[in-house]
Amino acid sequence: MFTAWLRKTAKIILDPLADRLVRLGLTANAVTLIGCLGTVAVSIFLIARGSFFWGGILIAASSAVDALDGTLARRSIGPTAFGSFLDSVLDRVSESAVLLALAWWYLAQGQPTYVLLAYLAVVGSFLVSYTRAKAEALGIECKVGLFTRVERCILMVAGLVLDLTAPMLWILAIGACGTALHRIIHVYSASKGKPLSA
């Protein structure tokens, strides 16, 4: 899987960087919050105003910071339940901020089709995460589908930097909703005949 390969490759860079941050006293939760606030600020002050190239570059930087929090947690006090919860919640905030900024831009340009696509992309991304969380709460592994958060993030950065936000929104909306549907079908198949635990 692409996500697993990317994490393994990034580990070479992230581990020594995380060790240095541990020595500086920075916590994983602080890094999570910094990454999210950076993405929200870039979305409001750059992407919503049509500055896509620099918005994409800075979103990539914020995503790199966000990728560091898990490594930092593992190499300090260890992952915590709240840290995992906070990371998941703020991931949704960050992704939504970028897409809502794009929706705002296209609304100002009088292009409602792309506003709708940005909305569908937000819905799809939430459903991709929710279907996995709910399935795993029921004891069913659910990592299927192409458009996980890593793939969506790479697509958003590429679309912004290359000024291809219109096709990016089409791909993202269809891909995210398609992945959510894929997961629903997967859970249906995996749960056939399985009673709900009391």
Instruction: Supply the residues annotated as catalytic.
Output: 91
Tell me how far apart the alpha carbons of residues 34 and 12 are, in angstroms, rounded to a whole number: 22
111 Cβ contact partners less than 8 Å away, ≥ 6 residues apart: none
The alpha carbon torsion through 94, 50, 110, 117 (nearest 10 deg) reads: -30
As a whole number of Å, the end-to-end CA separation of the chain is 34
Tell me how far apart the alpha carbons of residues 7 and 180 are, in angstroms, rounded to a whole number: 23
